[in-house]
């Protein structure tokens, strides 16, 4: 067994709790435990000859009191350390997600990120106490073996030799157990994907029996693979554990029954040795049962570190920005995209390339983008908003080039309702909500009888698809941004709101000085736009 530097570093970060006082508590706790065992052996020997030394009784009571106080304090420290590590890991990974660029985030995938941040961090938090108990057991065994040398050097030699031999066999099979555990953890990401298909596509699979059965079969097969690998891992773990524990029993039998014929002991020493060995079984069991868990913790930690590295590769300085400074670009008159190219990658190899994009966006105009699926509309929107970084080309705001320090201030110009929008339950980021304006918008969008904004949150966001989109637009409008991205907003609206969107809402927002970049296939309403941009194969095929 080899404990990785990363696992050691994980504990060393907890300097607040892992200090000299902690080490002192561990040593006192284990030393008092050894005193208790030694006094039990001494007391048993005294009872066998019908004598009792009350000094030993007093020492026994004092040892128990010291054990109680030190062990209680020590265990409380363990709880603090493990909970802090779990909390720190969750926060650290979530910050990495927050600071990751969109393209890297999309490639990592929701299932993998959710699995790592929730399940894997929870696993580490659940099993870390066992790792600390392992350290405690090792210290106790060292104390016990030292005492065994004092009682019977030959017993010590036999015990350590057989234990060491058994450990090499034990370690070999543990590595096989780790491999199965690692495979199971990787398969669980695919399990999350399959489960997302069932949950997110619930309506669709209810309407198509063949689709439902195929998706369920995939879920079932992956679940079976996870089950089989974890089962194999635990079976090897249990067999290995039982083998090692049986070996300890055999070793004890040799020391108790065979060694006295070679090197006889005094009755008093025999009783002490027996009490010591019986007591050592518990920490030895703790050590043998924790070794596989350490492997599982390290496997899980490797997956978390792998995720962290991938997110570091997608790190963007723009995300680390003081929100109080975002008014560096409070407004604009002209945004210009010059020779923008974007390159997609598959398995680190270049695939689809979009561009060149040359486009001018003027304040207070409506720009309509149209094109078939896969034509590059979403890519263009992400480039306009600087959610994607271009391979080549530049964005200028009023002849000011948008460099890395200006990316977040530039993004702050935009409000959005993308096609894959998320509906928040609160108006996050708005310190003082204009209730009068919000209520007017709810009434305008015919949502005032569906939801209200009370105690800093919407009372109901479980709405129809069209109603959710209207509420998402209200949330965006409350941010009062100069530019709005509206991706197929009207697609899920009833005829009344469909007409209202194009003929009233967009023109009114334009009159307010808002710039609107919309994606639409409603050719009947193209006339509302000041510019119409058509796209095919990642290129603009006509310029207004």
CATH number, domain with residue 498 = 3.40.50.300
Same domain, 381 and 497: yes
d(CA 28, CA 21): 10
Q: Which two tokens stand for residue 292?
A: 């596989």
Same domain, 328 and 467: yes
Shared-domain flag, residues 372 and 476: yes
Looking up tokens 């790792």 gives 131
Measured in whole angstroms, the distance separating CA 18 from the mean position of its chain's CA atoms is: 24
Under the banding of pLDDT at 50, 70 and 90, the label for residue 505 is: very high
* Higher local confidence (pLDDT), 143 or 323: 143
Are 327 and 309 in a shared domain? Answer: no
In this prediction, residues 507-521 reach a mean pLDDT of 93
- Look at residues 56, 57, 58, 64 and name the one whose alpha carbon lies nearest to residue 34: 64
Choose one of 315, 346, 363: the last residue of a domain. Answer: 315
**487 inside domain:** yes
| Residue 211, in any domain of the structure | no
What's the CA gap between 145 and 331, in Å, rounded?
75
| pLDDT band, very low/low/confident/very high, at 320 (cuts 50, 70, 90) | low
Over residues 389-399, the mean pLDDT reads: 92
Q: How far apart are CA 487 and CA 14, in angstroms?
A: 47
| 331 and 447 both lie in a single domain | yes
Task: Report pLDDT for 151.
Answer: 82
Could you tell me how many helices (H) and strands (E) the chain has, helices first? Answer: 17, 12
The CATH number linked to 289 is 1.20.1560.10
> How many structural domains are present in the chain?
2
d(CA 121, CA 91): 10
pLDDT over 50 at 208, yes or no:
yes
Cβ atoms of 487 and 417 within 8 Å: the answer is yes
Single out the residue of 245, 233, 342 nearest to residue 286, CA to CA: 245
Provide the pLDDT confidence category of residue 517 given band limits of 50, 70 and 90: very high
Would residue 226 count as lying in a domain?
no
Do both 307 and 387 map to the same domain?
Answer: no
Residues 454 and 425: their CA atoms lie apart, in Å, by 11
**Residue 222 in domain:** no
Average pLDDT over residues 238-252: 77
Domain co-membership, 332 together with 422: yes
Same domain for 348 and 252?
no
- Residue 131: count of CB within 10 angstroms of its CB: 21
Clarify whether residues 445 and 409 are in a common domain: yes
- From 381, 366, 333, select the one nearest 505 (Cα to Cα): 366
> In this predicted structure, which of 8-17, 20-29, 221-230, 390-399 has the lowest mean pLDDT?
8-17
pLDDT above 90 for 31: no
Is residue 65 classed as helix, strand or coil in its secondary structure?
Answer: helix
Judgement on whether residues 143 and 280 belong to the same structural domain of the protein: yes
Residue that wins the pLDDT comparison between 20 and 105: 105
Residue 513 has pLDDT above 90, yes or no: yes
pLDDT digits (tens, 9 = 90+) for 274-315: 777 777 777 777 777 777 677 777 777 777 877 888 877 777
Judge whether 206 lies within some domain: no
Handedness of CA 174, 176, 179, 184 (dihedral sign): negative
Task: Give the mean pLDDT of the chain.
Answer: 81
Omega before 356 within 30 of 0, i.e. cis: yes
Read off the pLDDT of each residue in 372-397 and give the average, rounded to a whole number: 90
DSSP string, 465-510: HHHHHHHHHHHHHHT--SEEEEESGGGGS-HHHHHHIIIIIHHHHH
Residue 342 has pLDDT above 70, yes or no: yes
Q: Helix crossing, 20-48 with 121-151: angle to 10°?
A: 40
pLDDT at 337: 94
**pLDDT value of position 1:** 47
Identify the residue with better confidence: 66 or 78: 66
Residue 214 included in any domain: no
Q: What is the pLDDT of residues 109-144, one digit of tens each?
A: 777 777 777 777 777 776 667 777 777 788 878 888
**Cβ density class 204-229: b for 16+ within 10 Å, e for less:** ebeeeeeebeebeebbeebbebbeeb
302-320 core/surface letters (b: 16 or more CB in 10 A; e: else): ebbeebeebbeebebebee
> Of 261, 282, 315, which residue constitutes the final position of a domain?
315
Q: Are residues 38 and 179 in the same domain?
A: yes
pLDDT of residue 336: 94
Residue 495, domain member (yes or no) = yes
Final residue in a domain of this structure, among 261, 294, 315: 315
Q: 543 falls in which pLDDT band (50, 70, 90)?
A: low
Which domain range does residue 398 map to?
A: 323-542
Of the given ranges (349-358, 436-445, 448-457, 473-482), which has the lowest mean pLDDT?
A: 349-358
**Residue 543 or 316, more confident:** 316
């Amino acid at each position: 067994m080899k404990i990785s530097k990363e696992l050691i570093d994980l504990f060393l970060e907890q300097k607040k709790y892992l200090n000299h006082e902690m080490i002192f508590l561990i040593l006192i706790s284990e030393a008092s435990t050894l005193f208790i065992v030694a006094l039990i052996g001494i007391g048993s020997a005294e009872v066998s000859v019908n004598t009792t030394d009350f000094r030993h009784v007093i020492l026994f009571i004092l040892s128990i009191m010291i054990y109680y106080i030190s062990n209680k304090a020590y265990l409380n420290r363990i709880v603090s350390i493990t909970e802090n590590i779990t909390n720190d890991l969750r926060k650290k990974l979530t910050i990495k997600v927050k600071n990751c660029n969109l393209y890297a985030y999309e490639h990592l995938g929701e299932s993998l990120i959710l699995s790592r941040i929730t399940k894997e961090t929870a696993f580490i938090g659940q099993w870390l106490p066992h790792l600390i108990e392992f350290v405690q057991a090792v210290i106790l065994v060292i104390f016990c073996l030292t005492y065994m040398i004092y009682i019977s050097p030959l017993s010590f030699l036999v015990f350590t030799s057989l234990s060491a031999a058994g450990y090499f066999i034990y370690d070999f099979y543990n590595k096989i157990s780790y491999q199965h555990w690692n495979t199971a953890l990787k398969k669980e990401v695919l399990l999350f994907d399959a489960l997302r298909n069932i949950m997110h596509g619930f309506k669709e699979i209810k309407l198509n029996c063949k689709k439902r059965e195929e998706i369920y079969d995939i879920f079932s097969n992956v679940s079976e693979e996870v089950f089989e690998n974890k089962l194999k891992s635990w079976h090897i773990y249990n067999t290995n554990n039982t083998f090692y524990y049986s070996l300890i029993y055999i070793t004890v039998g040799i020391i108790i029954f065979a060694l006295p014929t070679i090197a006889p002991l005094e009755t008093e020493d025999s009783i002490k040795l027996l009490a010591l060995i019986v007591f050592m079984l518990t920490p030895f069991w703790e050590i043998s049962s924790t070794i596989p868990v350490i492997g599982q913790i390290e496997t899980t930690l490797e997956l978390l570190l792998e995720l962290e590295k991938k997110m570091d590769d997608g790190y963007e300085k723009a995300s680390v920005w003081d929100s109080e400074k975002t008014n560096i670009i409070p407004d604009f008159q002209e945004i210009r995209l010059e020779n923008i190219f974007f390159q997609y990658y598959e398995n680190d190899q270049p695939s689809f390339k979009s561009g060149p994009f040359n486009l001018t966006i003027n304040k207070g105009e409506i720009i309509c983008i149209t094109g078939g699926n896969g034509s590059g509309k979403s890519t263009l929107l992400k480039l306009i908003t600087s959610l994607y970084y271009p391979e080549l080309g530049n964005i200028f705001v009023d002849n000011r080039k948008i460099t890395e320090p200006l990316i977040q201030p530039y993004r702050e110009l935009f409000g959005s309702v993308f096609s894959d929008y998320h509906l928040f339950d609160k108006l996050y980021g708005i310190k003082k909500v204009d209730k009068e304006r919000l209520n007017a918008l709810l009434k305008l969008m015919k949502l005032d009888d569906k939801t209200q904004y009370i105690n800093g949150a919407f009372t109901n966001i479980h709405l129809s698809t069209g109603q959710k989109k209207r509420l998402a637009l209200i949330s965006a409008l409350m941010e009062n941004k100069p530019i709005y991205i509206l991706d197929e907003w009207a697609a899920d609206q009833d005829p009344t709101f469909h007409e209202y969107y194009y003929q009233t809402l967009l023109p009114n927002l334009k009159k307010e000085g808002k710039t609107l970049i919309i994606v639409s296939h409603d050719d009947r309403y193209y006339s509302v736009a000041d510019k119409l941009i058509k796209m095919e194969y990642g290129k603009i095929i006509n310029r207004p």
